[in-house]
Amino acid sequence: MRSRLFLKIYLTLLASLAAVALASAAFVWLGQGEEESSWQSQRARFVAALIPPDMDLQSIESTLARFSGAFDADIAVYDPRGRLIASAGQPLPRDVLKGRWRHGRGSLHTMVTELPDGRTVAARMARPFRPSGRNPLTYLALIAGVIGLAAYPVVRHLTSRLERLRKGVDAWGRGDFVARVPADGSDEVAAVAKSFNKAADHVERLIKSNRALLANASHELRSPLARLRMAIDLYEQAPDENRKEEIVRNLAELDTLVEEILLASRLDHVEKLDAPEPIDLLALVSEEGARHGVEVFGTPTTVIGDARLLGRLVRNLMQNALRHGVPPVTASVAQVDSAVELKIRDQGPGVPDSESVRVFEPFYRPSGRSEATGGWGLGLALVRQIAERHGGAVRYESPSGGGACFVVTLPAHRAARKIN
């Protein structure tokens, strides 16, 4: 593949050079004929002025002798019938009048000029008495050859970069997801390489995230499944209403866990929301607060997003505060410049500063927390994913008065107005 691409590009370049050279040669060749015709006419007028028709024979012979000595040439003048009038130097061949510029023996050249009065002047000399007749095709071929040689490393460099890009794509396609291609330069090839590396990074993150999610999910599923199996065995031996409730509770936990795993996986694979719409965040938070017994206050603000996902975000934060914090739990909504801040606070011990960032990782539990406290470490991870898909972020703060506070920042809708 590499050789075919290289040959196509290089041969196309050489063919273009050949076409330009041939077209230029044809143009020069046609112009050369016109130049030769003009030179012959000027030469005839020059010779006619040196040997006018009324010049006597002695003057003609004297003029020919001077020219013969000056140019080391053999010169002869013939009348209109081809009879010799005068000459200087060595005798010329009898058939000299049959041609024009001809090569003689060795490096001698023969020039035949017809004068306006019908006479003919023939001269044989070492150097032609006219512009040198160089072949333009030689120069054009030389120029094309130099350009072809100079273009070889350029084309080779281009195709070698494409070959490295192809090898990187092939390696990545075979499962080497850490493979990347050199992205040096600023041309189209470098842009393709950068786009590939960006896509490969994104896919690698997704694969790592899915692997971690699968490994953690399989681990977290063991506990409720084990409790469910034990509860079923005990219920079969001695049916009891409490054991039946335990089975139902474990099934609900499994259902919730699977739902959160699926939602986390789906959010990993989407870049934008499907159908965002304006949402009154204060109304949404108030609805969730009424359902969970959380006090809500603030100002009406509008954000653009998915109501179902934002409801899940608020619900997870409230459930996290109720499960791991200490009442009272409060929620506030306020607009700060061009952003909307949602704060959910409780009076619990909070999260250590060293773990304030890791609490948003999937399946991470702060030190001292166990399964007995409920949850699987996915709630806050989903909060971060939902906030990021809405163009926002989430962080943990330690209030000065104690307790724990989670702050979600979302972009405010442009049409929203702050109400005092």
Tokens representing residue 8 in the block: 């196509």
Hey, what domains does the chain have and what are their CATH numbers?
Answer: 2-136 (3.30.450), 183-269 (1.10.287), 273-411 (3.30.565.10)
**Residue 343: what pLDDT?**
93
Mean pLDDT of 286-302: 92
Residue 288 near residue 399, CB atoms below 8 Å: no
Question: Which range has the top average pLDDT, 183-197, 227-241, 274-288, 353-367?
Answer: 274-288
Chain position carrying tokens 């000299």: 96
**pLDDT tens, 129-176?**
555 555 566 766 777 777 777 777 777 777 777 778 888 888 877 777
Which are the contacts of 313, defined by CB distance < 8 A and separation ≥ 6? 382, 383, 386, 387, 408
- Radius of gyration over alpha carbons of the chain, in Å? 49
Please, which pLDDT band fits residue 2 given cuts at 50, 70 and 90?
very low
**CA-CA-CA-CA dihedral for 362, 366, 370, 374, to nearest 10:** -60
- The count of residues in the chain is 420
Helix, strand, coil percentages, rounded to 5, for the chain? 55, 15, 30
Chain mean pLDDT for the chain: 77
Q: What are the tens digits of pLDDT across the range 60-114?
A: 888 888 888 888 888 888 888 888 888 888 888 777 776 544 444 456 778 888 8
Out of 98-107, 228-237, 322-331, 348-357, which region has the weakest mean confidence (pLDDT)? 98-107
Residue 371 corresponds to which amino acid? E
Residue 311 scores a pLDDT above 80: yes
CB 175 within 8 A of CB 40: no
> Is a pLDDT exceeding 60 seen at residue 35?
no
Locus of tokens 């034990």: 230
Residue 231 · residue 250 · CB < 8 Å: yes
Q: Per residue in 18-55, is it b (16+ CB within 10 Å) or e — as a string? A: eeebeebbeeeeeeeeeeeeeebeeeeeebbeebeeee
Beta-bridged to residue 343, according to DSSP, are 332, 407
pLDDT interval class at 420 (50, 70, 90):
very low
Looking only at the bridges linking them, the beta strands covering 330-336 and 277-280 are unpaired
Q: pTM score, two decimals?
A: 0.48
Higher pLDDT, 212 or 35: 212
pLDDT-based confidence at residue 54 (cuts at 50, 70, 90): confident
